[in-house]
Structure 1
Amino acid sequence: MSSDMRGGVLVITHGSTLDGVIEHIRTAARAGIGTAWLPQVFGNDALTTLAVAGREVPRIQLGTAVVPTYPRHPLALAGQALTVQGATGGRLTLGIGPSHRATIEGAYGYSYDRPVRHVREYLRALAPLLRQEAVDYRGETLTAVGAVDVSGATPPSLLLAALGPAMLRLAGERTDGTVTQFTGPRTIADHVVPTITRAASRAGRPAPRVVAGLAVCVTEEPTARRELLGNIYTAVGTGGEPSYRAMLDREGVATAVDVALVGDEATVERELRRYAEAGATECMATLFGTDQENARSLELIASLG
Structure 2
Amino acid sequence: MNAALDLVIMSADHDAHATMVDRARRAEELGYSRVSTGEATGWNVVPALSLIGNQTEEIGISNDVFSPYGRSPAMLAQTALALQDLSDGRFRLGLGPSSPPLTESWHGATFERPLRRLRETVEVVRSIFDDGNASYAGEIFDMDGLSYERELPETPPPIDLATLGPKATELTGRFADGWVPQLFSLAGLEERYSDLERGMALGGRYPADVRVSPILRCFASTDRERARDATRSMLAFLVGAYGPHYGDSVAAQGYRDVVDEIRAAWTADDRAAMADAITDDMLDEFAAAGTPEEVRTRVEQYAETDSVDAVRVGFVFGMTEDEKEKTMAAIARLL
Q: Is the 8 A contact 1:8 1:301 kept in 2?
A: no
Q: Does 1:210 align with 2:238?
A: no
Matches within 5 A, 1:147-186: 147-151=147-151, 153=153, 154-186=155-187
Query: In 1, Cα distance between the equivalents of 2:91 and 2:146?
Result: 23
Shift of 1:244: 0.7
Q: Which of 1 and 2 has greater Rg?
A: 2
Specify the alignment match of 1:109 in structure 2. Answer: 108
Higher helix share: 2
Query: Which deviates the most, 150-159 or 103-112?
Result: 150-159
Shift of 1:242: 2.2
Give identity over the alignment, percent.
23
Query: In 1, Cα distance between the equivalents of 2:254 and 2:330?
Result: 27
Shift of 1:235: 3.1
Matches within 5 A, 1:194-233: 194-207=194-207, 208-233=210-235
Q: Is the 8 A contact 2:213 2:308 kept in 1?
A: yes
Shift of 1:124: 1.7
Compared with structure 1, are the counterparts of its residues 179 and 10 closer, same or farther at alpha carbon in structure 2 (3 Å cutoff)?
same
Tell me the number of residue pairs that the alignment of Structure 1 and Structure 2 aligns: 302
CA RMSD of aligned residues (A): 2.0
SS of residue in 1 equivalent to 2:139: coil
Which residue type is aligned with residue 93 of structure 2? L
Which residue type is aligned with residue 268 of structure 1? V
Specify the alignment match of 1:286 in structure 2. Answer: 314
Query: Which deviates the most, 24-33 or 138-147?
Result: 138-147
Query: In 2, Cα distance between the equivalents of 1:132 and 1:226?
Result: 50
SS of residue in 1 equivalent to 2:214: strand
Higher strand share: 1
Query: In 2, Cα distance between the equivalents of 1:297 and 1:132?
Result: 43
Compared with structure 1, are the counterparts of its residues 235 and 24 closer, same or farther at alpha carbon in structure 2 (3 Å cutoff)?
same
Residue from 222, 240, 243 that aligns with 1:241: 243
Shift of 1:85: 0.3
Specify the alignment match of 2:275 in structure 1. Answer: none
Q: Which runs of 5+ in 2 are unaligned?
A: 259-277
Superimposed CA distance per residue, residues 205-238 of structure 1 (whole angstroms, 9 cap, x where no aligned partner): 2312111111111112222222223444443222
Superimposed CA distance per residue, residues 174-210 of structure 1 (whole angstroms, 9 cap, x where no aligned partner): 111211111221111122x221123113312231211
SS of residue in 1 equivalent to 2:213: strand
Q: Is the 8 A contact 1:181 1:214 kept in 2?
A: yes
Superimposed CA distance per residue, residues 69-109 of structure 1 (whole angstroms, 9 cap, x where no aligned partner): 11111111101110110111000011111211111012222
TM-score, normalised to structure 2, is 0.83
Q: Is the 8 A contact 1:179 1:212 kept in 2?
A: yes
Shift of 1:268: 1.5
